[in-house]
Structure 1
Amino acid sequence: MNTIDLTPLYRNSVGFDGFGRILNSALRQSDSSSGYPPYNIEVLAENQYAITLALAGFNESELNIEIENAVLKVTGRKPEASEQRTFLHQGIAHRNFERKFTLAEHVEVVAADFDQGLLNIRLEKRIPEALKPRSIAINGQKTLSQEQAA
C-alpha cells in the first residue's frame, strides 16, 4: 500500500490535516475495489453533482443509502436465492455490495431516485453564508485626541 507524504502541504496551510487521511483512504480503496457496481460521477452545474450506479437486478427495497462522517455509503443486499440455478454464463452480478464516496465539506445529498436499474443520487455543495467571501472594512487608526473629541 502506498502512502503520500503531505508534510510540505502542512507547512504552509491550516486545516488540511484530514486531506492526507482522505487521500490515503482513496488509494487503499482503489487497490482493493472490485469495480462493482459500476458508477459515474457527473458535474451537472457549478456546485451540483450526480452519482449514478448501475444496479441491474436490484429493486429499491434491497438498497440503502446513508451518510456518516462525510462518507456516503450505498449498499445493496440480495436475499438468499430460494432456488438453485445453473448458468452456462453469468455476466450479470447478483451479489451484495457496498460502495463508499467521501464527500467534501458542505456537500449534501439533495435527492435519490431509482429508475430502470440506475440509482441516481444528486448532490449539492451548499456553502453557509458565514463562510462565503466578504469584504472587510479597514478602519483608520484614531489618535487619542480624536477619540476624546468624539
Structure 2
Amino acid sequence: MRAFDLSPLYRASVGFDQIADMMDRVVSKDAAQPSYPPYNIEKTDDDAYRISLAVAGFAEDELSVEVRENALIVSARKSQEDDERTWLHRGIANRAFERRFHLADHVRVLGASHENGMLHIELAREVPEALKPRRVEITSTAHPVLEAAE
C-alpha cells in the first residue's frame, strides 16, 4: 500500500514521471528481495560506476552480462558436471541466478571483467552535448529576431 502522494511533484516539474514509475516499482516489490549473489555498487569517479558481484565457482563462459532497454541483466547457469560427485557437505551456493539493475538515462556499460571470483562491470554516464547546461547571453537591446520580423 502506498502512503505517499507524488502529485505535488508534477505541479512544479516536467519530465519526472520516470521517478514516480521507479518509486511504484520499488513499493510494489515484495519485501523478500533476492540476496544472491551479493554485490556492491561503487562510484569510481564523478560519472563512473562499478558493479561488483561475488560469483565464486562460476567460470567466465557460465556468466552472461546483457544490456536491454535501460536494464543491465547479469545471469549465470552452472554446467551439470557436478552430478557424478557425492557431497558430504555442500555449503557453496553455485545455483543459477539472474540479477537486474535499472540504468539511468545516458548510463552506458563500458565492459566487464572476471577475476578471483568477482565479476566487475564498469559503467559511465555520458550526457550528450545537447543536454549539457549552456549559458544564454543576455542582451540589453530588443531581440534581433523580433526586429528582423518587423
Q: Counterpart of 2:88? A: 87
Cα offset, 1:136, TM superposition:
1.1
Q: Counterpart of 1:110? A: 110
Of 103-112 and 78-87, more deviation after overlay is shown by: 78-87
Q: Counterpart of 1:135? A: 135
Cα offset, 1:137, TM superposition:
1.9
Give the distance between the partners of 1:107 and 1:30, measured in 2 at CA.
27
Give the conservation status (yes or no) of the 8 Å contact 1:4–1:20: no
Give the conservation status (yes or no) of the 8 Å contact 1:77–1:96: yes
Give the distance between the partners of 1:97 and 1:32, measured in 2 at CA.
15
Give the letter aligned to residue 77 of structure 1.
R
Give the letter aligned to residue 87 of structure 1.
L
Q: Counterpart of 1:65? A: 65
Q: Counterpart of 2:99? A: 99
State the aligned residue count.
Answer: 145
Shift of the 5–59 alpha-carbon distance from structure 1 to 2, 3 Å rule, reads farther
Of 36-45 and 134-143, more deviation after overlay is shown by: 134-143
Q: Counterpart of 1:19? A: 19
Cα offset, 1:129, TM superposition:
0.7
Structure 1: which 5+ residue stretches go unaligned? none
Shift of the 135–42 alpha-carbon distance from structure 1 to 2, 3 Å rule, reads same
TM-score in terms of structure 2 length:
0.85
Give the distance between the partners of 2:143 and 2:20, measured in 1 at CA.
46
Identity fraction in percent? 42
Give the conservation status (yes or no) of the 8 Å contact 1:4–1:24: no
* C-alpha RMSD of matched pairs (Å): 2.4
Cα deviations by residue, 1:71-120 (Å, 9 ceiling, x for unpaired): 111011112343253333x3211101011111111111112100111000
Shift of the 23–36 alpha-carbon distance from structure 1 to 2, 3 Å rule, reads same
Give the letter aligned to residue 9 of structure 2.
L
TM-score in terms of structure 1 length:
0.85
User: Secondary structure at 1:25's aligned position in 2?
Assistant: helix
Structure 2: which 5+ residue stretches go unaligned? none
Give the letter aligned to residue 86 of structure 1.
W
Q: Counterpart of 2:6? A: 6
